[in-house]
Structure 1
Amino acid sequence: MISTFPNAAAVDLSRIRLEIRSLQPRLVEWRRKLHQHPELGFKENLTAEFISQKLSEWGITHQTGIAKTGIVATIEGKKSSFPLQKGDGRGIALEQSHIQKPKVLAIRADMDALPIQEENDVPYRSQHDGIMHACGHDGHTAIALGTAYYLSQHREAFPGTVKIIFQPAEEGPGGAKPMIEAGVLNNPDVDAIIGLHLWNNLPLGTLGIRTGALMAATESFICKIYGKGGHGAIPHQTVDSIVVGAQIVNALQTIVSRNVNPIDSAVVTVGRFHAGKAVNVIADTAEIGGTVRYFNPELGKLIPQRIDQIIAGICASHAAKYELDYKGLYPPVINNTDIAEMVRSVGLDIVETPLGIVPECQTMGGEDMSFFLQAVPGCYFFLGSANPDLGLAYPHHHPRFDFDETALGMGVEMFVRCVEKFYA
C-alpha cells in the first residue's frame, strides 16, 4: 500500500543534477501538450510530428514512420573509449588490436493513449473526446525527449551510441514487435535496452526494480458454446448453453488452484459472459471471454492446453459444441540480471534507501516491452509517481488518472545516469 512508503513531500531533489532540474519546466510543458492531444495506437500522428519537430530542432538524427508512427532517434557519443598508444609522439594513435565496436544502448518509450473519457478538471485535460493519456505514456514520451535533449548536449560524456525508441500502440494491438521486425534494434545492433513506467502504485521518490519477471504475460480467450435452444419450461428438449458456460467458468478456476505450481503466480479470469435475450427462453448459444496472466514462460503451454481440455470435456458431457479462440498477446516482462543490477545501482544514487528501492515490485499487468527484452538483454522498471497529498494517486486506466510531474525530471536523471553507467 502507498501509505507504507515515504511521503512524496520528503523527496530529496538535490540528487538530480541542476541542469536536469532546470529542464523540469520544459518537461512539464511537453507532457501537458501531449496530454491535451492523446492518440490511440498506430494513430499517434500528432505525437510523432511533435517528437520529430523537437529532435530536428536539437539536431538529433532520427527516422520516422517505423511501424506506421514509430520514431527512432540516434545519438552518437564523442567520448573516446579506446586506450592511447604511447610513444608515438602524438599520444593519439590507436592500437588496432585494442579497437572494439562501440556499444549501443537503447531507451524505449511508448506514445499511445487509451479510449477513456477524461474526468480530470485541469487546464491540460484531453481535448480529444473519448481518448485520454490514462497510463502515463505522455510522461514516458516527455522523459525520453528530455533524455534525448540532454544527451545531445553532452555527447562528450559517453563513448557509444544511444538509440531512443518512441513506440506506438503499447496498449494494443502492440507496436514493439512490428518495430523490432522493422529493424530498430539493428544498424547499429543494440547491445542492451532499458525503459521505465511511471507507476501510481508507488509514491514519488521510489523505484520498482527487480531481476527476473516484473510484469506478466498477457493472453486472452473467447469461447463460443453451441447448444440447442428451446422453451424455458421444457428444458429436457434443449442443450442449455448457459448451464454449460457456467460450469466452464467454475471449472476454469481449477487451473490455477490445481494445475499450476503454488510457487508460480497465475490468473485465469473470465470477464465476459453473454447469452440469451428472454427470461423464458433457453439460449442456444453463449459466449465467454477472459484473460490469462502468468510470470513463468512454461505456463504458456499448460494454461491454454488445460482451458481447451476443460471446455471440451464439459461440452462433450452436455452434447454441446464449442469454438475456442485463444490468443497469446504479450510474453512476460523478464529483466536481465546484469542490466537490472546496473539500473538498481543507479537508482541507489538518486532515491533514498532502503525504502526508495522496491525490489519485489511486480504486477500481473502486461507490457509489450517484453518483446524487446526477448530480443536483447535489458531492464524495465517502475518510477513511483503517486502523490496522495495532491490527489494524484488514482490507478492507471482510471478516468481521473494523473501523476506528480516531479517524476519527469527523476526519469531523465535515471536514464542519463544509466547511459553513463553503461559506458563506464
Structure 2
Amino acid sequence: MRDALVAVRRDIHRHPELAFQEQRTAERGLTWFRGLGLDVQTNIAGTPGLIATLDTGRPGPTLLLRADMDALPITEETGAEYASETSGVMHACGHDAHVACLLGAASLLSEHRQALRGRLKFLLQPAEEKPPGGAKVLIEQGGILEGVDAALALHVYPPLPVGQMGFRPGVLLGYSDRFTVRIHGVGGHAARPHQTVDAVAVAVQVYQALQYLVSRENDPLHPFVITIGALQAGTAANVIPNEATLLGTVRSLDPMVHNSLPERLERVVAGICQATRARYTFEFVRGYPAMVNDAALTQRATESVKSLVGEQGVVYLPTPELGGEDFAFFSQRVPSLMFRLGVRNEARGLVHSVHSSRFDLDEDALPLGAAALARIAMDYLHHG
C-alpha cells in the first residue's frame, strides 16, 4: 500500500489547489472511492467536498473520518522532484498527506467490511485554511453530521518523528480569530508632520499597546497571543499617508478570555486614536473555535494505536497549542478526535514546520497514518 499512497500524495502535491478550488483533488478521491465500490456524494453544499459511505448493512454506530484538501498561497522551496507545479501555491500543511491517509484507511476498512458493523463516512473537505472554513459550510449547509455519532481526523506533526503519534484529551488547539484596524489620519508632506495626523505613527503605537494587553493586563495562567501579520501604509518616502492598516490574529485557550477580546482590543485602539486625534475603524472576525478532543474517544483510540505501533509509538501531548483548525466545528457537534501523525526525519532534513516554504514529510508516515485511522475506526465500530 505504501507505494500507492506515496503516488497519490505526490500527485496531489504537484497539483495543489487553494480553498474551494480543490476540484482535481476531489476527482482523485472520487476515483479511488468508486474503485472500492463505495457510494459517493459529491459537490456538497456547492463545494468540491465529497463523502464516500461504507455501509455494512449491520446495526452499529456511524463514524466520520475527515481529511482536508486545500493548499496554501506559498511558493515552494523544497527542491523535491514532486514539488508544486502551480506557481505560488503549495501543500505546506500536509493536506496532501491527509488525503492519502484517508484513502488508505478507506481501502483497509473496505477489505474488512465483512467484519464490521455500522457505517463509515469518508469526508474530503475543502477550505480548512480559509476562515470561516469548509467544515462550517459543509456542516451547516450540507448536513454532513446528520446521523453521525463521532468524528476522526489526523494532522501531520513535524515535532514528532515518523513512527510516533501524539494524543491529547481535552483542548488540543485554541480559538483563532482575526481583526483589522484602519487608522484614518491626515496626510501631508514629510517635512511638515505638525500639519498632519500621522497614521503610521498611530499604527505603531496601536501595535505596541496591543502587546501590553498580553504582557500586563492579562492573567498569564490564561494566555493569549496577538500577532500583527501586516502593517500597510503609504507608497512614497516623502509623503505621510492618510491611512494605515493593521491585519492581525489573536489566539486563546480560555473561553472567557476569548469572549472578552473584541472589546479589549477596540478599547486600546480607541484610546490611542483619541490621544493622537486620529479616527479608526475596527473589525473583529470570529474564526475557528477551540479544538476539543473527546476524552473517552481519545482514550480508546490511544489503546487502538498502541496495539498497532506499541507503547513507544504513542506520545502524550502535555499542552495545547494555539494554532487554529476548523475540525473544531465537528468537535462542537459530536464526540471528536484529532491526533498528531509524526512525520519528522532529521537524517533526511525533513524538519521544517508546517506553513514553511521548505516543509516536507517522511512518506513512511503515510501507511502508518492510514493504518491508525483504520484501526481506530474498526475498534470504534466494534465497541461504540
Q: What TM bracket, shorter-length normalisation?
A: over 0.9
Q: Match of 2:302? A: 344
Q: TM-score scaled by structure 1?
A: 0.85
Shift of the 292–158 alpha-carbon distance from structure 1 to 2, 3 Å rule, reads: same
Q: Match of 2:10? A: 32
Q: Match of 1:97? A: none
**1:347–1:357 CA contact under 8 A, matched in 2:** no
**1:158–1:419 CA contact under 8 A, matched in 2:** no
1:77 aligns with 2:36: no
| CA drift at 1:304 | 1.5
**1:218–1:365 CA contact under 8 A, matched in 2:** yes
| CA drift at 1:354 | 5.2
In structure 2, distance between residues paired with 1:259 and 1:156: 59
In structure 2, distance between residues paired with 1:387 and 1:412: 19
In structure 2, distance between residues paired with 1:405 and 1:204: 9
Shift of the 357–126 alpha-carbon distance from structure 1 to 2, 3 Å rule, reads: same
Q: Match of 2:138? A: 179
In structure 2, distance between residues paired with 1:352 and 1:390: 24
| Structure 1 unmatched runs, 5+ | 1-22, 81-100
Q: Tell me the alpha carbon deviations over residues 13-69 of structure 1, each in whole angstroms, 9 at most, x when there is no partner.
A: xxxxxxxxxx22211111112112211111111111111111111111110111410
In the TM superposition, what are the counterparts of 1:249-398 in structure 2 within 5 Å? 249-353=207-311, 356-360=314-318, 362-398=320-356
Q: Match of 1:55? A: 33
In structure 1, distance between residues paired with 2:229 and 2:100: 34
| CA drift at 1:343 | 1.8
In structure 1, distance between residues paired with 2:195 and 2:348: 62
Match of 2:75 among 113, 117, 120: 117
Shift of the 251–54 alpha-carbon distance from structure 1 to 2, 3 Å rule, reads: same
In structure 1, distance between residues paired with 2:240 and 2:88: 37
Tell me the percent identity: 41
For the aligned residues, what is the CA RMSD?
Answer: 1.8
Q: Which amino acid aligns with 2:134?
A: G
| CA drift at 1:263 | 1.3
Q: TM-score scaled by structure 2?
A: 0.94
Q: Secondary structure at the match of 1:328?
A: strand
| CA drift at 1:362 | 3.3
| CA drift at 1:73 | 0.9
Shift of the 166–310 alpha-carbon distance from structure 1 to 2, 3 Å rule, reads: same
| Structure 2 unmatched runs, 5+ | none
Q: Secondary structure at the match of 1:268?
A: strand
Q: Which amino acid aligns with 2:52?
A: A
Q: Which amino acid aligns with 1:357?
A: V
In structure 1, distance between residues paired with 2:85 and 2:362: 21
In structure 2, distance between residues paired with 1:75 and 1:340: 23
| CA drift at 1:298 | 2.2
